[in-house]
Structure 1
Amino acid sequence: MAESEATPVVPSSELLEWPKKDKRRFLHAVYRVGDLDRTIKFYTEGFGMKLLRKRDIPEEKYSNAFLGFGPEESQFVVELTYNYGVDKYDIGTGFGHFAIATPDVYKFVENARAKGGNVSREPGPVKGGSSIIAFVKDPDGYAFEIIQRASTPEPLCQVMLRVGDLDRSINFYEKALGMKMLRKIDRPEQKYTLAMMGYADEYETTVLELTYNYGVTEYTKGNAYAQVAISTEDVYKSGEVVNHVTQELGGKITRQAGPVPGIGTKIVALLDPDGWKTVLVDNEDFLKELK
């Protein structure tokens, strides 16, 4: 008698709707730097960020620093990682930039320059538009787009990543992570299309900016940028959704839902179809960690 083929489990519509109902927000971006004190000094003096907390894990041979413009309980921040003895990383071709919104780009850039920032694009209007922007690189070469906005509740406002198939990525982030596609811009004269993805209007919160360059389907990841972390009310349910979506669109879960040994915070880690990593973090556990 032939063995019966396994019937694929079809998730309930309620489960697939969960990411949209879940209370999610971007918590932090994690990336590696070659000199933690140097970067802290530049971000606090050059960008005006605050050092929120710092920890050293000698048994694992690394240190972390969390910096931002407001408290971690309510704002998106950066988590810098220094691995003992490693002073240089490869940013790769896939990572694009972070972005900071400020009322006065010109003043912001002059201060960043005075503190050692490398201004790679001087302040001025975007091509064919009126928005004022600039680009500044930090001591490790990470690019920051500086965007002029009269006011913003979330100054650290974007993470830009390049992807090989924009429609697939939009689909993935909508279905697997419950994001909304806030706007899509095509620039045929510059041969790229981008999509802003997030949980609220981009003037209210941090967003993910996905960029597709015409004809480019693969990028190098390097070993510098690591991941973004996003809050969830239920890592187990969120993990189930991701597991289903990866079967349809690609990507994979790299750490099944559950508590992190030694910390107890529940997380689930995943890669999108391009290999970009996201960690979903139990919100209640995260707030306990901060206390």
Structure 2
Amino acid sequence: MATDTTKYKFNHSMLRVKDPKESLKFYEHLGMKLVNKIENPDNKYDLYFLAYDSPSAVSHGKHWTDREGIIELTHNHGTENDPEYKIVNGNTEPHRGFGHVCVSVDNIQAACARLENAGYRFQKKLTDGRMHNIAFALDPDSYWVEIISYNSVEATADVKDTSLETYRMNHTMIRVKDQEKSLTFYKDVMGMKLKRTVENPGAKFNLYFLGYGPESDGSPNGTSKSEGLLELTWNYGTESEADFKYHNGNEQPQGFGHICVSVDDLDAACARFEEKGVNWKKRLTDGRMKDIAFVLDPDNYWIEIIQNEGFKSRVKW
């Protein structure tokens, strides 16, 4: 059976967490709901999958593999009681790589006030700096969570309410060394479409937003209500530095783990990746787990490949 990349979904982004109770409380305060939990007591870890699942959510009621915009929290047993255990958030030298996840909201002023009133910290408040249309909250492990609005800041200036049911897990950002290599990989190999490009020559960086689904008009409004976008951040000149590399989150110290794409036919998709000459972290046939594979992107970020159970049943997750 052939595989159709137009049926692929950017399913989730995995973050390791120190204390799942605190992390769950934060993301549930942001309106996310637990849509699946996988316990693995033998290997001493648990996986928590959170997504927006209100009746108005994009993927309401669907199987967790048949969604986009999920955050997977990975908890290794005992870390919550280990004073020496720390997460690297991907934004500090020399371990930069993963940057943030992003939630788009109806009213950014009210959404940020609600987070601040609950006692959560910010890396950047709306009033900080020159950009007053984005904020960065900090989750309990100091991962950055960007907050953007799909309505103009001016339109919501006098509105005091925010509706969690309208929120979207909009995108995940990773930094890339060579934008041409990364764009080619995510478009030609992973089958994503370039939805929007933001060039900032003054600050010497570009942003590229990719994803599955329909074409976008390239405008901020065209992508701000989306779920499951991948933002690639390219800082000019890194592609010319022979020894330059980003931290993929899986080498010590650890933090971000991987992004995940669910596919229509896992065996056919992996056969296609093989034909494309990808670098594998784990083939389907490696190890004991025969229902997941991991591909490496040009910066050695891990991309998990799983079966979308909405197309065919393979695993009793």
Give the structure-1-normalised TM-score. Answer: 0.81
Note the residue ranges of structure 1 that are not aligned, 5 or more in a row: 1-13
**Does the CA-based 8 Å contact 2:260-2:305 persist in structure 1?**
yes
Q: Secondary structure of the residue that 1:135 maps to in structure 2? A: strand
Aligned residues: 266
Within the candidate set 287, 307, 315, 1:282 is matched to: 307
Indicate the RMSD between aligned Cα atoms, in angstroms.
2.9
CA apart distance, 1:237: 2.4
Partner deviation per Cα, 1:105-156 (whole Å, 9 max, x = no partner): 111111112223211222269958xx82211111101101101014997700
- Per the TM alignment, residue 238 of structure 1 is displaced from its structure 2 partner at its CA by 1.8
Q: What's 1:218 paired with? A: 245
**Deviation, structure 1 residue 235:** 2.0
Change (3 A) 1:29 1:180: same
Q: Which residue of 1 aligns with 2:40?
A: 57
Q: C-alpha displacement at 1:290, in angstroms?
A: 7.0
Structure 1 residues 215 and 48: alpha-carbon distance in aligned structure 2, compared to 1, 3 A threshold: same
- Tell me the residue number matched to 1:3: none
The residue that corresponds to 2:133 in the other structure is 132
1:256, 1:276 → 2: CA distance? 15
Matches within 5 A, 1:91-130: 91=89, 92-123=95-126
Cα distance, 1:240–1:165 mapped onto 2, change above 3 Å = same
Name the SS of the counterpart of 2:309 in structure 1: helix
Matched residues, percent identical? Answer: 29
2:34 maps to a residue whose letter is L
Say if 1:78 and 1:172 are closer, same or farther in 2 by CA, change over 3 A: same
Cα shift at 1:252? 0.9
Question: Aligned partners of 1:126 and 1:27: how far apart in 2?
Answer: 33
Q: 2:274 aligns with which of 227, 231, 243?
A: 243
Comparing both chains, which one has the higher relative contact order based on Cα–Cα distances under 8 Å and sequence gaps of 6 or more?
A: 2
Matches within 5 A, 1:175-186: 175-186=188-199
1:229 is the counterpart of 2:263: no
In structure 2, distance between residues paired with 1:85 and 1:101: 33
Mark the runs of 5 or more structure 2 residues left unpaired by the alignment. Answer: 54-60, 80-84, 90-94, 152-162, 217-222, 239-243
Distance 1:148 1:287, change over 3 A: farther
- Secondary structure of residue in 1 paired with 2:137: strand
Counterpart for residue 193 of structure 1: 206
Q: Secondary structure at the match of 2:206?
A: strand
Note if contact 1:195-1:209 (Cα within 8 Å) is conserved in structure 2.
yes
1:30 alignment partner in structure 2: 14
Distance 1:55 1:282, change over 3 A: closer
Corresponding position: 1:80 with 2:111: no
Q: 1:190 to 1:206 in 2, by over 3 A?
A: same
Structure 2 CA distance for aligned equivalents of residues 286 and 30 of structure 1: 23
